[in-house]
Amino acid sequence: MLTGASIATFMTAASTYIADAAPAARRGEALAYYGIANSLAFAIGPAVGGFVIHTDILAGFDSALTGRADWLSGARTEELHFTALFVLSAAAAALAGLAALLFLPPGRKPGARTGLPRAGALFARTAAFPAAVNFTSSFAFAAMVSFLPLFARDRGIANPGLLFTLYAAMLLVFRLLSGRLMDTLPRHYFIVPGIGALAVSLLVVASPGPSYLLYVAMGVYGLGTGAFQPAMMAYLVDRTDEAIRGRALSTFTLGNDLGLSLGSFILGAIIQATNYRAAYVFDAVVALPRRRLRPLQRA
């Protein structure tokens, strides 16, 4: 619970800070580059974590930690260094917090507080449509995060982690190359094809072809995510008053959180009742209903 609350607070505040700090003419570019940091963490984090829990370099380190602090013994195992992993992760988070305190300039002053906000004031109406789109795309992403490693092993891929490394690499390359174009072309030039790429990649995963198609699918998925996410966020910020920008981005990220949680639950039930392919086909249908994209083309 603490981790979820912390990540939700950080993601909303960080996105709002970037939106406030970036010039309006370069907002899409700034959000694209900001997303690169998350992509690098997604690509590097699992590999570093796997190294830490398996390496012999840390032999005895867990014992030394738990010997000094008994309350850390809950994560200890005989062969894997989970205690060291969580302690190092906590240290990385502490360094990030210290960097924020030292280097971030003060933001805009908060408005006057008159008590607890009304329930309706917790959400921004301008973010309803972007949050709905974000929900369905995150629903699709749940299939990749939760079930693709298992499906990939069934298809004969020994190290499914390489699929996510490819995903992050394609996302990174696309954002580096297209950052400036985010503010030159209309937002929907990136959002609509990006969501289309997500749906196509899910259909490729569901196809009965050779296992290398999973690599193709994850590459296409990375391109789609690289195009969709920063453009959708910039689209929202463009249409939101500065005074409620934080609330709007909170509503937007809420769509992401709900999509991931409900997606894992619903798709898991579909897999249990049918199979992986049926779940990925269903996921592709959820990712791309045409009607919800019409406001983008009118904007």
Instruction: Output the CA torsion sign for 107, 113, 115, 120.
Output: negative
Query: Residue 123's pLDDT is what?
Result: 72
**Residue-wise pLDDT tens digits, 226-243:** 898 889 888 888 888 888
Query: Residue 112's pLDDT is what?
Result: 52
pLDDT band of residue 215 (cuts 50, 70, 90) is very high
Per the CB < 8 A criterion, the answer to whether 201 and 217 are in contact is: yes
**Residue-wise pLDDT tens digits, 173-207:** 898 888 888 888 988 899 889 989 998 999 999 88
pLDDT above 60 for 116: no
Instruction: Output the CA torsion sign for 88, 91, 97, 102.
Output: negative
pLDDT above 90 for 214: yes
Report all structural domains of the chain as residue ranges with CATH numbers, in order of start: 61-99 (no CATH), 125-298 (1.20.1250.20)
**Residue-wise pLDDT tens digits, 242-285:** 888 888 888 888 888 888 889 888 989 999 898 888 888 888 88
Query: Residue 90's pLDDT is what?
Result: 87
Give the integer Cα–Cα distance in Å for 199 and 211: 19
DSSP string, the chain: -HHHHHHHHHHHHHHHHHHHHS-GGGHHHHHHHHHHHHHHHHHHHHHHHHHHHH-GGGTTHHHHHHHH-GGGGGG--SSS-HHHHHHHHHHHHHHHHHHHHHHPPP-PPPPPP-SSPPGGGGS-GGGHHHHHHHHHHHHHHHHHHHHHHHHHHHTT-S-THHHHHHHHHHHHHHHHHHTGGGGTS-THHHHHHHHHHHHHHHHHHHS-S-TTHHHHHHHHHHHHHHHHHHHHHHHHHHTS-GGGHHHHHHHHHHHHHHHHHHHHHHHHHHHHHS-HHHHHHHHHHHH--GGGGHHHHH-
pLDDT above 70 for 147: yes
Q: At 83, give phi and psi (nearest 5°).
A: -60, -45
Comparing 39-43, 100-104, 126-130, 164-168, the range with the smallest average pLDDT is 39-43
pLDDT above 70 for 164: yes
pLDDT above 90 for 17: no
The whole-chain average pLDDT of the chain stands at: 81
